[in-house]
């Protein structure tokens, strides 16, 4: 067990390799793929994940912000591409141009700033034009395409057009089918507009994990894959769709597991309340153990009196309220000692606590739950 922190997150490289094969099977020779490692690599640890992925041959990465780009930049291999899909404060523009990081461009003002900086540095900025196609988050509206085109054409010496892209609003659910079909039409129109004007982009890209499975004809030149990498499904519906369509038993494997250890053990008499308040009353002689992980580390308070963890291959109930830094489990019928391993997410003998189980109990999306895992918890590749 890690001596410096009350819990440790392990990253399974074999599972990661398996998921890469799974992803490559979804794609054709023509579709490149970018590993999305925003949100601290969905809580897995961006530096650790980038390191492992590069060792496994991945060389294209996507993050949300300049801040995230800076966090992984020191481990970025020379032949790897880093792409920022969102926020870039003005102060970071110079660093981005200098280090040839690729960026989504979604407003004219920032494009102008990038061009000015590229001129000053006598360099080219690597841009992906993000088109507004119906998500209404960010991206160029049709009414601005003409102006955008003018600016790019006038500054081609300082711009490398790496891509034209968009993002589908909820490809993980068939409820959004019509909206996504409309987005695809709008994207087609936008791409046609720039192409007709003589502007050629290296990559067209629209798909994330759900899109790659539900709309494979839209995988185009580059696919931005997040959740599948980590061995999780974008939604139940996509999982089912995949099963029906591909008729294969090849499956994703979760990369992350989360472990802590028992901190203290106590006997409690019938009639005593356990933990804060009176949410749990001992109705018989009980043995309880404390685990030094709480909502402050991402173990949701919603797990109070309902969650399960694994100790010695047994599923044991969380009793009482989850605190900021710890929670209690019942160990009445199990031989346990202080320092015994507690599995919060992952496998122990033939038992498993899945991210989806944890997520369902705490009413969180797998994406949400993972990104809430505290950054201070050490991540270890195994
Ligand atoms: C997060 C994100 C992705 C990856 O989504 P997954 O569902 O995790 O595959 C792709 N594109 C953009 C723009 C994103 O923000």
Per-residue confidence band for 131, with pLDDT thresholds at 50, 70 and 90: very high
- Please tell me the predicted confidence (pLDDT) of residue 3: 55
Residue closest to 135 by CA, chosen among 100, 95, 106: 106
- Please tell me the predicted confidence (pLDDT) of residue 308: 97
Position 204 pLDDT exceeds 60? yes
Distance (Å, whole) CA 309 – CA 317 = 7
Could you tell me the distance, in angstroms and rounded to a whole number, from the CA of residue 10 to the centre of ligand 1? 23
Could you tell me the distance, in angstroms and rounded to a whole number, from the CA of residue 275 to the centre of ligand 1? 40
Which residues form the pocket of ligand 1, taking CB atoms under 6 Å from any ligand atom? 36, 38, 85, 167, 208-210, 224-227, 234
Position 355 pLDDT exceeds 70? yes
Q: Give the closest residue (by CA) to ligand 1 atom 8.
A: 226
> Which pTM value belongs to this model?
0.95
Question: Three-state DSSP class for 233?
Answer: coil
Could you tell me the distance, in angstroms and rounded to a whole number, from the CA of residue 35 to the centre of ligand 1? 9
- Residue 242 neighbours by CB under 8 Å, 6+ apart: 213, 233
Position 226 pLDDT exceeds 60? yes
Residue closest to 267 by CA, chosen among 285, 290, 291, 292: 285
pLDDT digits (tens, 9 = 90+) for 270-329: 999 998 888 999 999 999 999 999 999 999 999 999 999 999 999 999 999 999 999 999
The residues that bridge with 345 in the sheet, in sequence order, are 258
> Which CATH number does the domain 13-245 belong to among 3.40.1710.10, 3.40.50.12780, 3.20.20.10, 3.40.50.970?
3.20.20.10
- Please tell me the predicted confidence (pLDDT) of residue 361: 85
What's the whole-number average pLDDT of the chain? 95
Position 194 pLDDT exceeds 50? yes
Per-residue confidence band for 247, with pLDDT thresholds at 50, 70 and 90: confident
Residue closest to 361 by CA, chosen among 312, 311, 327: 327
Residue closest to 31 by CA, chosen among 262, 191, 225, 210: 225
- Please tell me the predicted confidence (pLDDT) of residue 358: 87
Cβ-based burial of 380 (10 A; exposed 0-12, middle 13-18, buried ≥19): exposed
Q: Where are the alpha helices (DSSP H) in the chain?
A: 13-26, 38-42, 46-55, 66-72, 93-98, 108-121, 145-154, 177-196, 209-214, 236-246, 355-361, 366-371
For the chain, give the number of residues. 382
**Mean pLDDT across 18-37:** 96
| Contact assessment for residue 8 and residue 256, using Cβ atoms and an 8 Å cutoff | no
Phi, psi of 234 (to 5 degrees): -65, -30
HEC assignment per residue over 25-60: HHCCCCCEEEEECHHHHHCCCHHHHHHHHHHCCCCE
Position 1 pLDDT exceeds 60? no
Could you tell me the distance, in angstroms and rounded to a whole number, from the CA of residue 41 to the centre of ligand 1? 11
Distances (CA, A) of 56 to 25, 46, 96: 16, 15, 26
Distance (Å, whole) CA 76 – CA 84 = 14
pLDDT digits (tens, 9 = 90+) for 65-111: 999 999 999 999 999 999 999 999 999 999 999 999 999 999 999 99
Residue closest to 304 by CA, chosen among 287, 320, 323: 320
* Residue with token string 């499975």: 213
Ligand 1 binding pocket mutation candidate from 20, 27, 33, 36 (most atoms within 8 A of CB): 36
Distance (Å, whole) CA 234 – CA 178 = 19
- Please tell me the predicted confidence (pLDDT) of residue 360: 87
**Where do the structural domains in the chain lie, given as residue ranges?**
13-245, 256-381
Position 2 pLDDT exceeds 50? no
The residues that bridge with 325 in the sheet, in sequence order, are none
- DSSP 8-state code for residue 132: P
In Å, the largest CA–CA distance within the chain is 80
- Please tell me the predicted confidence (pLDDT) of residue 277: 86
| Contact assessment for residue 69 and residue 96, using Cβ atoms and an 8 Å cutoff | yes
- Please tell me the predicted confidence (pLDDT) of residue 13: 98
The reply to whether 13-245 and 256-381 are identical in fold is: no
Let me know how many helices (H) and strands (E) the chain has, helices first: 12, 18
Q: Give the closest residue (by CA) to ligand 1 atom 7.
A: 209
User: CATH classification of 256-381 is 3.40.50.300, yes or no?
Assistant: no
Catalytic residues: 38, 276
């Amino acid at each position: 067990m890690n001596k410096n922190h009350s819990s440790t997150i392990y990253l399974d490289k074999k599972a990661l390799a398996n998921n890469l094969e799974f992803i490559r099977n979804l794609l054709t020779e023509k579709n490149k793929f970018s590993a999305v490692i925003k949100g601290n690599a969905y809580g897995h640890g961006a530096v650790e994940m980038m390191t492992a992925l590069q060792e496994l041959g991945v060389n294209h990465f996507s993050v949300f912000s300049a801040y995230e780009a800076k966090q992984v930049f020191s481990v970025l291999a020379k032949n790897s591409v880093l792409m920022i899909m969102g926020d870039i404060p003005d102060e970071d523009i110079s660093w981005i141009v200098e280090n040839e990081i690729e960026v989504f461009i979604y407003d004219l003002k920032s494009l102008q700033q990038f061009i000015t900086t590229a001129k000053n540095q006598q360099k080219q900025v690597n841009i992906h034009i993000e088109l507004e196609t119906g998500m209404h988050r960010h991206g160029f509206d049709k009414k601005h395409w003409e102006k955008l085109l003018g600016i790019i054409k006038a500054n081609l010496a300082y711009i490398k057009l790496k891509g034209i892209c968009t993002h589908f609003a909820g490809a993980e659910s068939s409820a959004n089918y019509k909206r996504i079909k409309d987005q695809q039409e709008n994207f087609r129109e936008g791409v046609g507009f720039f192409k007709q004007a003589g502007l050629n982009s290296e990559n067209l890209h629209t798909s994330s994990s759900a899109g790659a499975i539900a709309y494979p004809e839209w995988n185009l030149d580059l696919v931005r894959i997040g959740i599948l990498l980590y061995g999780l499904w974008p939604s139940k519906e996509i999982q089912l769709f995949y099963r029906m369509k591909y008729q294969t038993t090849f499956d994703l494997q979760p990369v992350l597991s989360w472990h802590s250890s028992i901190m203290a053990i106590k006997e409690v008499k019938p009639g005593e309340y356990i933990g804060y308040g009176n949410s749990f009353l001992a109705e018989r002689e009980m043995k309880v153990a404390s685990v030094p992980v709480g909502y402050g580390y991402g173990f949701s308070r919603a797990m109070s009196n309902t969650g399960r963890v694994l100790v010695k291959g047994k599923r044991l109930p969380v009793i009482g309220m989850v605190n900021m830094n710890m929670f209690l489990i019942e160990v009445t019928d199990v031989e346990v000692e202080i320092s015994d391993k507690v599995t919060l997410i992952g496998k122990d003998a033939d038992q498993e606590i899945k991210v989806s189980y944890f997520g369902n109990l705490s009413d969180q999306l797998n994406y949400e739950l993972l990104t809430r895992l505290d950054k201070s918890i050490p991540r270890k590749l195994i």
